[in-house]
Structure 1
Amino acid sequence: MSYATTYRQLQPLLIACSLAAAVVTPAAYAQTAAAPVTAPVAASSLAPGVIAKVNNVAITDAQLQRAIQQSGLPDSPNLRAALKNQLISRELFRQDAEKTHAYDNRPEVKQAVQEAKDAAITQLYLRDVIKPAAVTEQQVRAQFDSIVASLGDKEYKSRLIQVGDAAAAADVLTKLKAGADFAQLAQQASLAQNKVRGGELDWISFKTPAQEGHTQNLPLPIAQALTALPAGGVTSTPVNWNNTYFILKLEQVRPTQVPKYDDVKAVLRQQQEAAALEKATVSVVSGLVKKAKIEQ
């Protein structure tokens, strides 16, 4: 596992473990919205940035904003009301639990506090030391131009069934010849992750004849088999690649649809920024590893 992969796996955990985070799931949101806090409160003027007080303990707008962000739901008055109620309820729970003095020294509480502290420290450290290179408009445009230059005049829409051996491939072909539906058979027999979509692949375009390294990451034998099929055709023999067998169906062929630069530049920029972040992260981790004593 690469250092960059490890960082990507840890990063959501670091964010989610923030001490002040108030996470709400859609189900919890619905429950909270249906059962608002209705306890009477004394009329008072709240300080700027404070949305509520529970026995003189302030709940801030910053806490609410974090809760909205963590929820992953669209911001709305209903969501804000539900999350505000949840924050109030959570503070009521905390205060009542604290009165008993039965929880402060429990091992699981101490461990949770330490883990949250470690996560917050690590998150801030990563923010301070990992400095990815800025992505320029020229870099984004260059990537777009490179992608467009790699496209062929046609693009292909296909489905794929991946099996582990020649016997399984022969069985799939026999069932297809007997009239089995390709998509349903892919869901039943394929080993590929896209089996849930009936083996469907995205539209893909590359110059023909297909050459190694110029097939948009599609394995060369598969790309070659794909371009040899007529629309609606299925490979008569399985394609053997990397000790795995593939049966292909070419569903459609059309002239290549080249998107406008303005429609895709945001996505391309995000890709380059992610790559820059990964590169910067690997650099930091590599430097730390060189100075550390790690036993496994």
Structure 2
Amino acid sequence: MILIADGGSTKTNWCLINEAGRKILFNTEGYNPYFSKTDYIIESLKKSIPDYLETEKLTEVNYYGAGCSTEGNRKIVSDAMQQVFPNAKINIGHDLLASCRALLADEAGFAAILGTGTNTCLYDGKDITLNIDSLGYFLGDEGSGCFIGKKILGDYMKGYMPKGLRESFYDNFALTNEDIFDHIYNKPLPNRFCAGFSKFLYDFKDNYEDYTFTTIDHAFTAFFDNLVTHYPNYKDYKLNCVGSVGYSFRDILSVVADRYEMGIGKIIRSPIDDLVDYHLHIAGK
């Protein structure tokens, strides 16, 4: 039995391929090793994986995760996986590589993640050949859910948000400025906290089209200005993108991409289905 996983900072999508070749999907929370250490991942997985999954029978785990770009971070996740799946061969890769394989398979091109965080790269059909570091939620991650969430929180706290939307925000979350500061500076996973508010904006976008467009346009413009346009000959590529933010606001993403003379390619919410197909049909070639 084989497990394939795409792990973001907020959620991990898993696919079990059982002995009969059947695909079984399930989810757990996300495990970014910059925020979640080995013991935490072990404890969370033991609580979250379905009872039907016989961990001792697994022969291989292919886990692609946010933050798994360095040897040290991959070891944090690998050590946890080996404890939970003791008889499996553990393969840990970066979530950006998962996105490339899901979006482009064995074709060359440009791939991006627009979810809780942001990432971008050029891919040659096998490996990532160029990656401009997005610098994470504190210094960068332009265009991400966290980037958008910080703008929404700032507008709410400063009173810049449209009155009706501000009232809906308080009705939904009942957060004071002091509560928000406490979440950001004192509680764990501030990136996940901020990113959650991008969904709030999506839910109310039809009633506040101007505010939504301005906010998302600002985020995606920053994404292009600080990341995309710094790739050589970026206009020669199509923008292939995975992630809930890119998918949910793909209409605005298309408008911004057109402004920068970059065509739109494949945009998907989650890479797991295409990633499983990659492992079943291409990885074994």
Same fold, judged at TM 0.5 (above): no
Structure holding more strand per residue? 2
Normalised to the residue count of structure 2, the TM-score between the two structures is 0.22
Normalised to the residue count of structure 1, the TM-score between the two structures is 0.22
* Greater RCO structure (CA 8 Å; 6+ sep): 1
Structure holding more helix per residue? 1
